[in-house]
Structure 1
Amino acid sequence: MRIDERVPVETTEAGSPLRFTWRRVVYGVVSPPEVWVTRREWWRSATRAPRGEGTTLLELPVWRVDALPLTDGAHRVDGTFDLALDRATGDWLLLGVFDDEVEQQLFA
C-alpha cells in the first residue's frame, strides 16, 4: 500500500534505518535492509530542479525493511516498509507498507 508520509528515522553510522516512528508508533528494523534507487514522482511537484542538479533531486535511495512495533499505539503494523531518503531536504519518507492486514488496520 502506498503511504507517502514524512517520518522521523534513526539510522546506523552507515546510514541505514534502525528505528522510525509512524503514526505515533516506534518501529524497530529487524532484518538487513534491501537498498535500491528509484525516481521521485517529479510530475507531482511544481518545483523545478536547478540546471545540472536533476539527477540528485530526482533519485531517491530506498531501504526496504522488515520492522516490528516497539511501542503500543493505534494501528500497530508488523510488516515490510519502504523508507526513502529525500536528499534534497534530508527528510525521510515512508513510501509504502506491505502486510496482509494493513488495509484493515488503517481503514477500519
Structure 2
Amino acid sequence: MARLALSAIVMMMAFIAFTEGLRGVGPKKCCFKFNDKPVLENKVVSYSRTSQRCSNPAILLNTVAGRQMCVRPSASWVKDLVTYLETKNVAGANSNL
C-alpha cells in the first residue's frame, strides 16, 4: 500500500514538473492584430519589441493611460516614434549627470 501511494506521489510530481516546464517554452507576448493609426508622441511612455520567436514582428507601445498596443515596426510613423523615444531617453539620462 505504501509503495502504491509513493508511486502515485512520484507520478504526480513528475506530471507537475513537466507541465510547468512547458509554460516557459514560448514567448510571453506576440501580436496578431495591429494598430495602423499613428499615435502621438505625448501619448507613449515607452516601447518594447516582441520576441523573435513570434510569427509577426511587432513593437509594443506602452501608453500614458497604461495600455499596450501592437504596431508594425516597418511603418514610417513607428520608426519616427521609436527614434523620438530613444532620443528622449538618452537626453533624460544625460540630464541626470
**Superposition TM-score, scaled by structure 2 size:** 0.30
When you count strand as a share of all residues, which structure comes out higher? 1
When you count helix as a share of all residues, which structure comes out higher? 2
Structure number with larger C-alpha Rg: 2
